[in-house]
Amino acid sequence: MKQRTIAIAAAAFLCGFAPLIHALDGEEILRQVDRNLNPDSYEMYRKLINVEPDGSKKEFVLYTIKKGQDRMAALFLSPASEKGRSTLRLEDNMWLYLPSVGKPLRITSLQSIVGGVFNNSDILRLDYSAEYTVESSREEEGTYFLDLKARSGSVAYDHIEMVIDKQSVIPTEIRCYASTGILIKTLRYSKTKDFGGGIVRPSVLETDSPLQKGYRSVILFAEIKAREFSDEVFTLSFLPKVGELR
């Protein structure tokens, strides 16, 4: 009787509980995506290129710093017309500092200080897990699929669909939608590169939008490395001095 009881319990475990053990943890996958794309706190150099329908281009070089899940600042290094401008994001709040004005100005996530398809939220992107919750997840042929919902109405996209390579746990494509269900843009990561310090991630992020036909924007990541910063550098008073950190 005892052996039979043990056998029934084992069968119940295998039939009823094993699927739970192997069930996808979408939130954990999303957190791993964040850490595989960037360290928790880091500095980065990148080039942003806007390409117009006629093939003409406008390029920007930015120095960017981030701390934790809710703080990011970026400094424009070129072109000359933009040099010295800096931006700050604290959670959902964003500011732009113009040397000619001498004080920070409020900006919104859906605006774009550089034009093109990337908006301010894309340029000053926080961790995905800080802005979105996982509504559903599934796995197919070496790929994770996550459906994400914005945590608040201030997030740039109401929901996004993320396609993730299972082996690297790095996204390959992200489709961004408005609350109406309209596709706003598609982000595509490519060309994985070893940046050193254990950071192996895509070096190219490209986007296009059905709402801006013929336009596309690209970010080329040149350098990313972990670095700790004091809270002071993520303040409005420090915005004019971000360049001192380089």
CATH class (in words) of the domain with range 25-245: mainly beta
Q: Which residue has the tokens 């489709």?
A: 175
Question: Tens digit of pLDDT for each residue in 177-204?
Answer: 999 999 999 999 999 999 999 999 999 9
Scanning the chain, the segments in alpha helix (DSSP H) are 2-12, 18-22, 26-37, 120-123, 128-131
What pLDDT does 226 receive?
96
State the Cα–Cα distance between residues 46 and 112, nearest whole angstrom. 17
**Kindly report the CA angle at 130 between 142 and 199, in degrees rounded to 5?**
55
Please state whether the predicted TM-score (pTM) of the whole model is above 0.75: yes
Scanning 38-154, the segments in alpha helix (DSSP H) are 120-123, 128-131
Per the prediction, the chain carries an average pLDDT of 90
What pLDDT does 88 receive?
97
Question: Tens digit of pLDDT for each residue in 55-92?
Answer: 999 999 999 999 998 999 999 999 999 999 999 999 98
State the Cα–Cα distance between residues 246 and 243, nearest whole angstrom. 6
Question: Tens digit of pLDDT for each residue in 150-176?
Answer: 998 889 999 999 999 999 999 999 999
Phi/psi at 34 (5° precision): -55, -50
